[in-house]
Amino acid sequence: MYISVMICDDLEEERAALARMVRQYCQRCALELRLDVASSGEELLDRWTLGQWDLVFLDIFMDGMTGVETARSLRQRGEECALVFATTSQEHGMEGFDLQVMDYLLKPFDQGQLDRTMDWFVQQTADRLRLLRVDMEGEELTIRVGDIDYVEMYRHTAAIHAGGRVYGLRRTMDALEDELKDSRFFRCHRSYLVNLDRVQALQQRDFEMENGQRVPISLKSFGEARRRLQEWMLAKNWGR
């Protein structure tokens, strides 16, 4: 599993301490980590792109933008990452509820408290953070399962479309579907496996993906495809 974390705190010593705890947790749990830090909410937002971070730690009381203001700006931009407030006070509980904050870490906190927060985060996002290993021209790469848009069988190769790139994998569709074992993926055609989380709409007899591409649905699978998409959208919106 791979996670991307941002720590935003205006105090360098506290940024460093939290970064050290996060690294220790990931090393102990064999998680691949990309860690970024920012000294203000303004700096975080300047560096932000949608989906860049899985988990963001925000100090509430910072000079300039507060952690609450930063979190609100992220949500207004459509960011769905997990948020954790690191703070000296729990008086912002209502704002945290509105902003779908995952947890509060009351300063000063220790490794054990951080570990419990990280355990909860990993348990809730394990499926999205899983990695699929592929071989590209002799180089072994990893793709985050949640980043896959769809898979297309081409002769004896599975073409995995993810993040604007196409990865070739020598595997049958049946074997790949069994390996993924993920409720987001639906076999909509003998040669296509689609990630319902990446579907924008149903157009005629195609799935229209968020990136504008279309994935065909077989006539036999159309009724089931419509039902599965409706159920997935309902569950996804309910979860929010």
pTM above 0.75, yes or no: no
Q: Residue 166: helix, strand or coil by DSSP?
A: strand
Axis crossing angle, helix 12-28 with helix 111-129, rounded to the nearest 10: 60
Residue 211 CA neighbour count, 13 Å, CB half: 14
b/e burial code for range 33-55 (CB count within 10 A of at least 16 → b): eeeebbbbbbbbbeebeeeebbb
- Distance between CA atoms of 222 and 189, rounded to whole angstroms? 9
Nearest Cα neighbor of 146 from 80, 75, 212 is 80
Confidence of residue 183 (pLDDT cuts 50, 70, 90): confident
- How far apart (Å, rounded) are the C-alpha atoms in residues 112 and 90? 19
Question: Cα 69 vs. chain centroid, distance in angstroms?
Answer: 22
Instruction: Give percent of the chain above pLDDT 70.
Output: 92
d(CA 29, CA 64): 35
Q: For residues 116 and 103, what is the distance between their CA atoms, to the nearest angstrom?
A: 10
Report which residue type is found at 27.
Answer: Q
77-123 confidence digits (pLDDT tens): 989 899 999 888 666 555 666 788 889 999 999 999 999 999 999 98
> Which of 44, 76, 73 has the alpha carbon at shortest distance from 57?
44
Low-confidence winner among 119-123, 142-146, 207-211 (lowest mean pLDDT): 142-146
Q: What pLDDT is recorded for position 218?
A: 96
In angstroms, the CA 94 to CA 77 distance is 20
pLDDT of residue 43: 98
